[in-house]
Structure 1
């Protein structure tokens, strides 16, 4: 067994589970004011960046936080979550999840809540929201959730979406990351006074240009003098990387000298490779896989493309803006708000007909001065409106409302900060 340092002096004990053991990484029995809960597959996504980064702010707030992740034993890619948790000093629970109806998730979550006197359960998806509702009958605590968005591409995900809508009505506070999601929740029965809009955010100190980066990653991107369009995200249907391939094909047919670079992995990787070969553009498409740190990639591309079919508040757009990369993104989630209605980047129609994007994209690829204006405007917008500190204070305000007794206890720390 080894121990890792956590916030507030909490130690995280790591051990290999024995027979019947469900948790692989556990707190010692210290109080946890807020327990973030999430179901995850693979290396995670944008919500996990936000959850795990939140922990480093907790030491000055009076809120002791931890994160409980429900994941399958055979998920070898979960190491990426562990690595991020260690980097951000996030106390991490791992709860074995054998499927949607696994009762063991409830049993383990109840044990954790009781052992650490959890006061606020903060769910992040349909299953953690459902478990939170069930737990409250057995352990008194407040319920908060963040709605990051949904997908509807299968019958199962549509069912999950319906279950989540039912759960949200019973939560003490529902945080949404875009106005569209806020309107959706209100339309599905969540009381207006229990809704808050807190968009995702970025640390502008962590995400800033540092000049030339001497690593193999950017050299792969800049190995050609063709313009580099980058896509950062999970290779799944809702992220729309197939749209990026169709767009690239159209640009090449117009004689543009451009390459497409994809950073991420996921279930559609093989399909996308096959599609690039079928379009005859495989030599112009570069699959870089998942990278823990994409900042060198942002420093190397000329344009960040977000071709998503659905989003909440996309971290890739915020990261690119902070890194002074001009952005072209579909009008999903909070994209229009992030890009200030097109003043800080190009807003594309949310359509599979990428021919409709062509003029807007060409206005970037052919105009270096316009790219520069968008790059500078994006950085300024992040600094003014989307810093991570600003976001976290809004989240703490939510916690203060649902658990005023905790707000009173942390007031001395607030004044000191």
Structure 2
């Protein structure tokens, strides 16, 4: 039985974490021994479901023994290297840029093939020459590099092009409770940071608030800009219509009660939450940012696309949807059909192929059982 180990920052809420949980559970049930190494603490809560048979190695220090900054990353590297030598997986799969770098360094001279997973927009990564040089050198050692869209693939240098594989995120709907009445609720979800553009969303909602009588905007998530966004909401007099909901204990709870979903990001890698909204049959508005939304939405048919950072354009799209129930129904139905091309069974087949390719470079490890699946209807 081949052994695969994922490396990720933590097991809390997040798009990368959800994808890891899906791939790990799939492989575990198809003849692969799966382990997860994370840099959070043993006492930290797990948000997504992981099968009981999947071994978790939580390498973070307890609250009393925490260290910070560069020293913490050095300890992560040392702890991961020790774990790799002890467990000797047949392949290791880190998610997110910093974890890719740590894993490539930790796995030096172990002979373990590394499949790096880039989950965001490479053009928005740190631009310091030393960082770029280190990352470029490290990626040169990766057995394979997985990114989420063809557009992201073009961001990598030619030297690694033959080892790049494009696999979109698997998208499945959270359970959605049927409602008999309309809640007049616009929902957005994500970390409260600059990337997600919630300041632009709040500004756009302010432009239509007077016309959108009875409608409210709920933003789910937490992050460093919470205080600034609260001040913006208060300054615009929107305290009764716009709420910062924080994180929820139940994955996908934001779907219940939503009538319209908005993605206001300045940039993305592949917006999981947009796919989840579409799979749930919600009408969606998204910024046409790099990267992802334009590969998921056909403008005017399965959703609406607006320029990133353009509050006026976002306001017009929101007003159009708020005022027309038939448009919301049409967009929601089309969104659910369009997102089927990212069905989990089809995406998992692509991950099976990547695993088999990585294992082939570490003979005599046997190949995993490859799932049989037909490509979903477009």
TM over 0.5: yes
Instruction: Confirm or deny that 1:232 pairs with 2:189.
Output: yes
SS of alignment partner, residue 332 of structure 2: helix
Equivalent-residue separation in structure 1 for 2:214 and 2:140 (angstroms): 51
Instruction: Give the one of 57, 67, 76 matched to 1:93.
Output: 57
- Once the two structures are TM-superposed, the CA of residue 190 in structure 1 deviates from its matched residue by 4.3
Structure 1 segment 9-408 matched on structure 2, within 5 A: 33-40=3-10, 43-71=12-40, 78-79=44-45, 82-86=46-50, 90-96=54-60, 98=67, 99-101=69-71, 102-150=73-121, 163-185=134-156, 188-204=157-173, 207-212=174-179, 227-254=184-211, 256-332=213-289, 333-351=291-309, 353-383=310-340, 385-404=341-360
What do residues 331-366 of structure 1 show as CA deviations (whole Å, max 9, x unaligned)? 121111111355311111112x30122322222111
Number of aligned positions between the proteins: 364
Equivalent-residue separation in structure 2 for 1:415 and 1:235 (angstroms): 38
Equivalent-residue separation in structure 2 for 1:292 and 1:161 (angstroms): 37
| 2:25–2:51 contact (8 Å) kept in structure 1 | no
Q: Which runs of 5+ in 1 are unaligned?
A: 1-30, 214-221
Instruction: Mark the CA change 1:255 to 1:113 in structure 2 (over 3 Å): closer, same or farther.
Output: closer
Which protein has the bigger helix share?
Answer: 1
Equivalent-residue separation in structure 1 for 2:241 and 2:199 (angstroms): 14
| 1:151–1:310 contact (8 Å) kept in structure 2 | no
| Higher RCO (CA-CA < 8 Å; seq separation 6+) | 2
The TM-score with structure 2 as length reference comes to: 0.85
The TM-score with structure 1 as length reference comes to: 0.78
- Once the two structures are TM-superposed, the CA of residue 376 in structure 1 deviates from its matched residue by 1.1
What do residues 283-337 of structure 1 show as CA deviations (whole Å, max 9, x unaligned)? 1111221013353431311110000111111111111111111110111211111
CA RMSD of aligned residues (A): 3.1
Name whichever of 251-260 and 117-126 sits farther off.
Answer: 251-260
1:12 paired residue number: none
Equivalent-residue separation in structure 2 for 1:401 and 1:163 (angstroms): 26
Equivalent-residue separation in structure 1 for 2:274 and 2:342 (angstroms): 11
- Once the two structures are TM-superposed, the CA of residue 212 in structure 1 deviates from its matched residue by 4.4
Q: Which runs of 5+ in 2 are unaligned?
A: 62-66, 374-378
